[in-house]
Chains A and B, each alone.
Chain A
């Protein structure tokens, strides 16, 4: 295909997702345009920004069509070569193509690349295929086909039935069946109107699927919301996006404007007499505002604090009117379900969890990025086949699913099929779909401490168990990682967990103990080592480790001496070096640079 590309119209798209932009995608695009100008081929080659492939660790990613060539880690300096060889000469620049083995003889297409081949794209159906700022691109890829079908051929009840049949469940984490939620809201009397809300207050550390969906395919969310509004009988919608997502805000705001121009939003949509407006609300970045009642309080201008349920938002939500809140990914799934039918969607996934789920795969993993797989895909497939395995081929230790209030799932459960039920059985949650991979060098007590500290800061402070309980958990974990753990601390953590889980007002508190409970369940020995032996088995907790030089391995190369920021290491060339414990701040810089395993991070034993 590429050989003949000389005369064909070609499209070069530079991913304009946040990750690629941060890695220099804008400069790459500018260089491309300049270079194409010099080679006098601008008419034949169209350069677009956008088309996020969600293969984030390879950014900036550049895709050339036809041919589907994907280049990764492209710099402005590589552009001239791509233009000369590929866009003008028709030959793929192999050294820049992505895949497990760079420089493959045959050109890897998406289906040859492990990261892509096992993925099934529904919510992310337009990944890498459309320019997010182009409604025409979206329309050309079956966009806004479901909306006329829903408005003209289906009654609101039919739409709800189709979503019920699909078995779609809330992708924000709750997992409540979307069709049932819509049905309740539809039946709820709303003489003064009803609302639909898109929850884009993505706050889990390491999760970015909502941001990416809004950035790379905003119309899929708008179309889903419009169909949902029709089904429920709402005439106003809100998208609640955090202010930290400037690109998502910009794109979604623009998409709403353009949809209005096309008659796909506003009054008398597609001439059917149906009216629907969408407003964008900027959130101030409070984690708790992802909780639907806190989110609505925030839209109303109140402090973002959750309200007791019942009454549920479907009965009395925003400004007391029936309101339906769904997450970005849930909305993005709606149009394909209407277009292809609930049965098609339900054919994917497991018995109780249908369809696909987007996960953000991060942490100690080779391929970082967003992936979409059918429910029931095992952790092993996700981590090894798609993720390419653990970074530096270290030993896999655990994966944290569902964000800070999810749980840590150990190696023994690597063949766990990922769906709502199985994750819950393992003590974790689906959450919004964050997957943080951890390797053997991770201390599980330290991990629990980190997440609990995050949740302490993000607790709104309204109810006692969450506000006071999480703080006490953090204090206890804090002293354990400092080597000051006491007998009874584990019991205290467990009984705090019961109260926080059972008695908290909202989901933040109800799930907050999960990181502690799962690490206690699967890695109790690490807690015991910290508390009773004052030892950190993973050699992470600084208070519990001491660095020393192993004299007979040290070659006296002085790398560590140069690396030490506090001058704790000294010694003449070719002589074993000395480490002054009094000066050592345990930063580990020496350990990192030593090529001879001569700096041993060893544990202190206290019986």
Chain B
């Protein structure tokens, strides 16, 4: 089939379908590549860069984010080189410095053998993977939140930091947040949040944990 390509990952040859990413093919082969912004249900954006691998193609070797790099014929991928390990450890160190109390970051740091952090400790609760933003847009189809500001000041907020008019309060952002820190309350007007429903049953709000139900 013309849409099948041959690639080589960590010394093993593999036929792969055109359009698939290195990460997807590696997963099928049972090769574990660490990620922090990848989610099967969402369009990959290649932002955390933890999934970098060394890719040799056309005589050139480069480090590429495997979650967004499509496989190409003749590509030779190595997922565990010295450089790749060094980069992953530095990235997780940087994230650990930003969000020292986030469980998933601490866990990944441990997996990658990072124990110390030479940088000043931050207090951030969000490592900007953007899963909430993508989920809201791609799955819910609303797009109530987005990134604001630039550089280290970046944050996920509804437009102008105001409670959103379009948010339906579905909580997908909160559910998908790998850091378990996304606060729906900054997006969804509280007033509306607790007026959702109308049925006789009582629900427990996944955000504020109070019970609400029919008014």
Q: Which residues of A contact B (CB under 8 A)?
A: 286, 288, 303, 305, 307-308, 310-311, 456-465, 467-472, 475, 488, 492, 495-496, 498-499, 502-505
B152 in contact with A498 (CB, 8 Å):
no
A471 touches B47 (CB 8 A): no
Determine if B65 and A308 form an interchain contact, defined as CB atoms under 8 angstroms apart. Answer: yes
Main secondary structure of the interface of A (DSSP, over half): helix
Given known A-B contacts A286-B150, A468-B152, A502-B83, A463 and B46 have beta carbons under 8 A apart: yes
The B58-72 residues at the A interface (CB cut-off 8 A) are 63, 65, 68-70
A sample of 19 inter-chain contacts (CB < 8 A) reads A308-B45, A461-B147, A461-B151, A462-B47, A463-B48, A463-B49, A464-B47, A464-B49, A464-B94, A464-B127, A465-B91, A468-B97, A471-B151, A475-B119, A498-B86, A498-B87, A503-B65, A503-B87, A505-B65
Give the CA-CA distance A344 to B176 in the complex, in Å.
Answer: 60
Q: How many residues of B contact A (CB 8 A)?
A: 35
C-alpha spacing A457/B68, complex, angstroms: 26
Question: Is B153 close to A, CB under 8 A?
Answer: yes
Least CB distance, B72 to chain A, in whole angstroms: 8
Instruction: State the CA gap A575–B69 with chains docked (Å).
Output: 74
Is the Cβ of A308 less than 8 Å from the Cβ of B68?
yes
B173 interfacial contact with A, CB 8 Å: no
Q: Is the CB of B119 within 8 A of A310?
A: no
Q: Does B120 contact A (CB under 8 A)?
A: yes
The smallest C-beta distance from B112 to any residue of chain A, in angstroms, reads 13
Q: A398–B97 Cα gap in the complex (Å)?
A: 35
C-alpha spacing A571/B116, complex, angstroms = 55
The answer to whether B152 touches A467, judged by C-beta atoms less than 8 angstroms apart, is yes
Question: B48 touches which one: A310, A464, A469, A499 (CB < 8 A)?
Answer: A464
Question: How many Å lie between the Cα of A483 and that of B120 in the bound state?
Answer: 17
Complex formed: what's the CA distance from A464 to B50 in Å? 9
Min CB distance, A303 to chain B, in Å?
A: 6
Instruction: Please tell me if B30 contacts chain A, counting CB pairs below 8 Å.
Output: no
B149 partner residues in chain A, CB cutoff 8 A: 461
Q: Which residues of A contact B100 (CB under 8 A)?
A: none
B113 interface residue per 8 A CB criterion: no
Q: Are A459 and B151 in contact (CB under 8 A)?
A: yes
Additional 16 contacts, C-beta under 8 A, given A462-B130, A464-B47, A499-B91 = A311-B70, A460-B150, A460-B154, A463-B47, A463-B48, A464-B91, A467-B151, A468-B97, A468-B98, A469-B90, A488-B118, A498-B83, A498-B90, A499-B90, A502-B63, A503-B52
Q: How far is the CB of B117 from chain A (nearest CB, A)?
A: 10
Q: How far is the CA of A498 from the CA of B63 in the complex (A)?
A: 11
Return chain A residues, CB-CB under 8 Å to B68. Answer: 308
Nearest-Cβ distance from residue B67 to partner chain A, whole angstroms: 9
The minimal Cβ–Cβ distance linking B39 to chain A, given in whole angstroms, is 16
Closest CB of chain B to A200's CB: distance in Å? Answer: 21
Nearest chain A CB to B137's CB is how many angstroms away?
A: 11
Q: Does B132 contact A (CB under 8 A)?
A: no
Q: How far apart are B70's CB and chain A's nearest CB, in angstroms?
A: 6
- With A310-B70, A464-B94 as known contacts, state yes or no: A503 contacts B150, CB within 8 Å: no
Could you tell me the distance between the alpha carbons of A470 and B154 in the complex, rounded to whole angstroms?
Answer: 14
Taking a contact as CB atoms under 8 Å apart, the answer to whether A492 and B91 are in contact is no
The contact string, 1 if C-beta is below 8 Å from chain A, for chain B 13-26, is 00000000000000
Within 8 Å CB of B63, what residues of A?
Answer: 502-503
Q: Which residues of B contact A505 (CB under 8 A)?
A: 46-47, 49, 65
B136-169 contacts to A (CB < 8 Å):
146-147, 149-154
Say whether B76 faces chain A, with CB atoms less than 8 Å apart. Answer: no
The reply to whether the CB of B131 lies closer than 8 angstroms to some CB of chain A is no
Min C-beta distance of B121 to chain A, whole Å: 12
Residues of chain A lying within 8 A (CB to CB) of residue B86: 495, 498-499
Residue pair B119, A472 in contact (C-beta under 8 Å): yes
> How far, in whole Å, are A465 and B146 apart by their CA atoms in the complex?
21
Contact A465 B150, CB 8 Å, known A308-B69, A496-B90, A503-B87: no
- B contact residues around A496 at 8 Å (CB): 90
Residue B128 interfacial (CB < 8 Å): yes
Residue B95 interfacial (CB < 8 Å)? yes
Central interface residue in A307, A459, A467, A470, by most chain B CB within 10 Å:
A467
Residues A465 and B94 in contact, CB atoms below 8 Å apart: yes
Question: Provided the pairs A499-B86, A505-B49 are in contact, do residues A471 and B152 lie with their beta carbons within 8 angstroms?
Answer: yes
